[in-house]
Every structure is written in structure tokens, then in C-alpha cells.
Structure 1
Amino acid sequence: MIEPLLSVKDLRTYFISNEKEVRAVDGIDLEVYPGQIVCIVGESGSGKSITSLSIMQLIPKPTGQIVSGEIIFDGKDLTKLSEKQIASIRGNDISMIFQEPMTSLNPVLTIGDQISEVLLRHRSISKKEALKKAVEMLQFVGVPRANDIVREYPHQLSGGLRQRVMIAMAMICEPKLLIADEPTTALDVTIQAQVLELMKKMRDEFHSSIVMITHDLGVVAEIADYVAVMYAGQVVEAADADTIFEDTSHPYTKALMESIPSLEEEKDILYSIPGTVPDASDFPVGCRFASRCEMVQPSCLEKIPKLRELKPGHLVRCDLL
């Protein structure tokens, strides 16, 4: 039986300020197996990015804190490790590609120095060897003129090249797990397709697992092995990618699918889900999607549905199914 590389169990990450408790992530479960690409999907405010930051142990303190739950990575509970132990894992065994490469790269350091720094921190290696490795990784991720690029600064590169630099930096230590937070959002569709192909290539070459955070179902269809749909801090549906697209069950996931424009039929008005995601500091008592759900029943307003197995491998948080 293959053990998961990452197992998140009943994770709750809250932000407490001005006597308000914001339950950004409120009891999620997630498993990622070796070599698997898992996509976490949901609209803004659903808790996707906070989930990724929780795994990386990058929640801003003291306002933000993991109040309960486990994050088991490679047999270790990351929530129980010291900052020094986490620092040895972060960037080495777990890496992250952030949403906006321009703000994630240091504007006053060359590309070569920034990529080399990761190697120098985690490996016993000379600066010359680290720079050589940086050039090789830039070539691997498809950066042209890699020998010149290492001497350039982030502002001299296009958005697509900066994103490739971020990927090279994340993969330089060949991590077991790569977390990508909306890595294709600011890119045009051609570059987006290239980045997705590159991530699949990395999975195959380095045998890394990938957790991708996205709101783009087109990206999910292209790359995902397994999909977890988040809404208001909770997973509402989880299954393999084929099941999510062909046998959608939860009303929220169905509404997301309905929102995708179709090339086959003309519509005067595109479908949008009515209402908004509830405020994370004031969640309703019952099902968090109830106020926007077309199937809602009085019982939905009384208690939070449990995430249960509808059929093997297909989890749904809805008492009406």
C-alpha cells in the first residue's frame, strides 16, 4: 500500500485581530501521493492560498495561527517542528511557486544569485558550482540565453520568463513536493500552456508531487490527477479529475462547471453563481453554500454537512446526495 507523501488532517487556520476570528481554513482534509498532481479549486476567499501557506508554515504570526490539525509530510508533522527544522525542509523538500513573480523575486539581486542562494543554503557546494547548476536548471525550464540571464535582474525579464525563473528556483533542490499558487494567472494562454507542460515534465523528470492552487477549471482539466474543490474554508468535493468533470455531484461544483463558457452553444448571458462567499468571520450555522444553492432545504440551514464518501474515492459535503 503506497503511503501519501502529504496528509492534511482536519486543518484549521484562523486569523485573530480586533476581537474578530477569521476562519480562513476550517477543517480540511487532503492527501497527496508520490508523483501525483493535485489541484485545489475554488473562487477567491475559499481558503486555497491559506491552505498552501499553512503547509509551508508561512502563516503570518501573531495574527495568523494553525489552531488545530495535522500536516504530515514524509512521516513528520510539520506543525510540531521548530522553525530551524522547518527552514531545512522549506526550499529543499517542499518548494513553492508564488502567484506574482515580480513581487516574489528580489529586484536588487541578479537571477543567478537568487537561484544559487537556495542551493548554497541547503547543499555543501561552492558558489561557482551553484551558479553552474542555476544555468542548467534555467535551460531545463526553457529559458533562452541562460548564461546571460543569470547576470540580469528581474525587471529586465518578461512575465513568462520571470515565472520560469521562479519554477527553476523552486526545483533547483529537486523537492519531493512543489506547491504552485496560481502560477499561470498573469500569463497569456500560450505561455500558460508552456508552463503547464513544464510542470508535467518536472513531475516526470524529478518524480515530484505537485499541489496546484487555481480557480481556472481549464488548467485543472489540463493537468490534474486529483481535484479538491474548496468553498468557505472547507473541501466540498474531492475526486479524481475524470469524476469531477464527468460525474460532478456537489451543487457548488456543478455551479462552477455551469460557469464555464461553451464553444458549442451561444448564450446571451453567461451563467454566474448568485450571491457571494460568506464572511469567514461570520459563517452561517449550517451548510455554507446554502444561501446560493438551488437545491437548498430547511435541514441545510441547521448543521454543517460532513464530508462523506459518495462512492470509492469520491468525497462530497452535502446531505442531500
Structure 2
Amino acid sequence: MDHIDLQQPLWMLITFVAIGWLCARRLAIDPRPIATLLIYVIAPLTFFRGLVLGEPSLSDLGLTLGLFTISSVLCLLTRPLAAMFFPPQEAALLAFSAGTGNTGYFGLPVAMLLLPPEGVTQYLFCLLGITLYEFTLGFYVSARGQFSMRESLTKIVRLPLIYAFLAALLVSTLGIGIPEAVLEGLNYFKYSYTVLGMMIIGMTLGGISLREVDPRFILAASALRFVMWPLLSLGSVMLLGSLTTLDPVLAQALLLLGVVPMAANVVVLAIELNIQPAKGAITVMLTTLAAPLVIPLYLSWMLAISGLG
């Protein structure tokens, strides 16, 4: 990992944020339809293609289940703690962010740069577990900050990512062949997934003012992302390494999950549910700006501590 220069791809992702900010400022583009497009079209198709091509095995699905469980537990533990210090909507947003990070729009391009093909596949299944958390339990906890239980569950049932996941499993299990032309067409969505996912942060920032900066919220969310997750990721790798022979490539994928910035989907879902999108966008942007400095340092330290460096 350490021989690859991460600065250029990381700053390119931040450039997408800047382009989104300019679009909001100069073209008055509303990010809400784009957030809806990401949730209901682009993300499901991107993950469907990745899962079909990945041909999931039981061990791959174990990664998905493991990351889903970890994300869910972190969310549920954070929710009552955050409620002691923050209003309901902010507490819900913090709880959601505790279980996730920008493992998709930001982390997936970095994983493609750092990891071999088998590592990218393993990362994708880990990413799927976190994404399923975002659009099930995470979405529910966020929605419960504003909606009733019935309304929250109704919103979850309408999320197509769940059905894309089930459809991909069905296709793989039954050995149904997907025409090459269809897979090639779906390939274009992975690029729009990253570009629009990062641009939407800038679009949201373009419509807010400095009055909406909340140092307490920023500090809490940053601590969850850049303190708790790296420690959890490193601890998981060291624990698994002591219990079994851990694949070094998988270990690197797990470490990468722990160092990405705050999830852009915090902004996407906050827009969709209308729960403090400005505060979420500011915090996501600050952690994203820190990423070119934090990620190389964190990865080098974690690789050295875990014996992989």
C-alpha cells in the first residue's frame, strides 16, 4: 500500500465536492432530486452489478453480515448516548453516522487503487454490509428522529437497494446469465455513483451559511469517524489475526474501511428525510478535506502496528 501516492485521487474526489458547490452557487441546482436519484436508482444498480460479478460465496456474505452487525451495534449504542447531549434530529443523525463512513463514493475508488482485484471484491462485500445498514436500520433510526415507527418502516420497504441485493443473490444462486450488453450498460452507473455522491456534499454546502456551523456536532461526528472507527478497525484485524490466519489483503481492506471520512450518505439521507442536512454537509466536508492527510498517516501506522507494513 505505502508505495502508492494517494494524494492525487483523494484531491480529485474533493474536486468533485468543489464542482458541486459551484453548481449550487452559480446554477442554483437543488441537491434533493439528485439525492433521490442516488438512493432509488444509481446505488441499487451499482451494487447489483458488483454483486453479480463478484459471485458471492458464504465467506463473502459473512463479511457483509459482519459489517452490517458492527454498524448496527454502533448505531444503537450511540443513539441513547447522543440523545443525552443533542436534540432528537441531531442525535439521530449522529447515531446514523456512527455506523458508517464514506466507504462507497470515496472509499471504493481508493480501494480500486490500493488493492488487488480479490481485495476489491472483499472490500465490496464489506461495503455492502455497511450500505445495507445505512438503508435499513440506519435509515430507520434517522427517520425515527422525525417520523413515526410506521412511517419509518414504510420508507424502508420502498428502498430498492434491499431488492437489488436480493435479486443479485437470486441471480447468483440460480446461475442466471446476465447479457454482457446489460452488464456493460450498468458499468456506467459506478462512475456516476462516485461523482454525484461527492458533488452532492458541495451542492448542500452551497446553500448554507456559517451560522449553521455547530462545533459540538462537528467534534462528536469527527471523533466517531477518526477515533472510534480506526481503533475498531485495527482492533478487529489484530483480533482476527490472533484467532485465525487472516488474509493480508482482507486485512488491508478492513483497515481502509476504518479510515475513510464521514459518509456522504449522511447528507443524502438527511436531505431525503429533511433532518439537519446543513450540519451533516459541513461535517462531511471537513472530514473529507482532512482525508488526504489523515488516510496515508493512519494506514501507515495501522499497517505497522498490525504487522502488515
Q: Shorter-chain TM-score category? A: under 0.3
| Greater RCO structure (CA 8 Å; 6+ sep) | 2
Name the structure where strand makes up a greater proportion of residues: 1
TM-score by length of 2: 0.25
Higher-Rg member (1/2): 1
TM-score by length of 1: 0.25
